[in-house]
Amino acid sequence: MPQRFAHLDTRWRIKESLGTTSLEQARRKRDLLAEADDHYRASLMIAEEAGPALSREAVEAVRRRYRMATVKALASGFTYQPIDHLATAAPIEEALARLRAVHHGAGSQEIPKVCDAEALPGGAPKPTVTVSEVFQICVSEIACNAQLCKLPNQQAAWEKTKRTSIQYFIDFAGDISFEDITRELAPDYQKQWAGQARPKDPKAEAIAPGTANRHIGSIRRLYADYFRHVGEQARANPFRNMHFKAKTRTEVPPFSSEWVRKKILAPGATRRWRPEPQLITRMLIETGCRPGEIINLRVEDFRIDEPVPYMSIRARKEVARCV
């Protein structure tokens, strides 16, 4: 035990069996236990310094304490479950197994360790996490897999779009605790968007139902992803089955051949353009490719020496710029 924590934790030496003969598993559990102890000692120190006042440091202490409990439970072979879940929904065998583990770790004096008593029976207080904080967790931890194949500009666009939707909810309900989003609140948020999709003022511009669906869907997905991330997959989503019936997408007609001949292909029609946009435009017309597919082509992608010359269009991590 580090000397500076001796007055907070009376244990002089911490000795605990890892319960495995696998060296790999032992190292993993050792690291988890060490991390749990670090969080536990830090939370003790912060709580002592913060005193009874509800400050940012005190809130962080609760988060560290909760994190320590989840890590400690995992290191002991369990997933962390809140005590109310263990008391009402979990099988009695699981609750008894956790209590036996606490008793086993108590040692000869049969005094349960505080960290074990909180981690295994689920007694650590749950931290308060706001909507904006949950969104940051989503960006940094939850959504990283979905963004692995996105280019930097695509990642930035994705985050901007999602952040805008979440900000709409924060503007409506405030940056409240994520736990406080209830089924009673969700219909009010839907009504707010219904008022914009079908405004009472005939002069007001109505938003498209699809726009409202997108913003409601963003907070619904964030709610589902976050609680799945923390192990509460069974939690009912307050925004379930909430959507507006969107109109059928209107087909955008193509440019007529006559318009293309007069506006683009006519002699001198694009003379004020730089050479690159002129060439790109003509390639788009001739091939039907998307702008990004043409702009990102490189010299080696033009296979003109093949029996059938062709362009090789393939995925790239870096984006070319037309200057």
DSSP characters over 1-17: --GGGTTT---SS----
Residues 6 or more apart whose CB falls under 8 angstroms from that of 115 comprise: 36, 37, 40, 68, 69, 72
| Cβ neighbours around 186 below 10 Å, total | 20
For the ranges 40-44, 189-193, 313-317, the maximum mean pLDDT occurs at 189-193
| Cβ neighbours around 296 below 10 Å, total | 19
- Lowest mean pLDDT across 42-46, 183-187, 255-259, 279-283: 42-46
107: pLDDT confidence band, cut at 50, 70 and 90?
low
Tell me: pLDDT of 22 over 50. Answer: yes
| pTM for this model (two decimals) | 0.53
> What is the percentage of the chain residues whose pLDDT exceeds 70?
65
d(CA 198, CA 141): 37
- Helix (H) / strand (E) containing 285: helix 275-287
pLDDT at 54: 46
Cα-Cα-Cα-Cα dihedral sign, residues 192, 194, 195, 196: positive
128: pLDDT confidence band, cut at 50, 70 and 90?
confident
Q: Which of 49, 227, 55, 222 is nearest to 136 (CA)?
A: 222
For the ranges 21-30, 43-52, 85-94, 100-109, the maximum mean pLDDT occurs at 21-30
53: pLDDT confidence band, cut at 50, 70 and 90?
very low
The full set of domain ranges for the chain reads 3-119, 131-229, 257-311
pLDDT at 105: 63
Paired strand residues for 222: none
pLDDT at 322: 42
d(CA 141, CA 179): 19
Mean pLDDT of the chain, nearest integer: 78
pLDDT at 323: 41
Could you tell me if 232 and 179 are in contact, meaning their C-beta atoms sit under 8 angstroms apart?
Answer: no
Tell me: pLDDT of 146 over 80. Answer: no
The position carrying tokens 């099988």 is 91
pLDDT at 176: 92
> What is the percentage of the chain residues whose pLDDT exceeds 90?
23
Could you tell me if 173 and 186 are in contact, meaning their C-beta atoms sit under 8 angstroms apart?
Answer: no
pLDDT at 256: 87
Inter-CA distances, 49 with 8, 45, 54, 66, 253, Å: 12, 6, 12, 18, 68
Tell me: pLDDT of 35 over 60. Answer: yes
Mean pLDDT of 294-303: 90
Residues 6 or more apart whose CB falls under 8 angstroms from that of 318 comprise: 151
| Cβ neighbours around 35 below 10 Å, total | 15
Could you tell me if 49 and 58 are in contact, meaning their C-beta atoms sit under 8 angstroms apart?
Answer: no
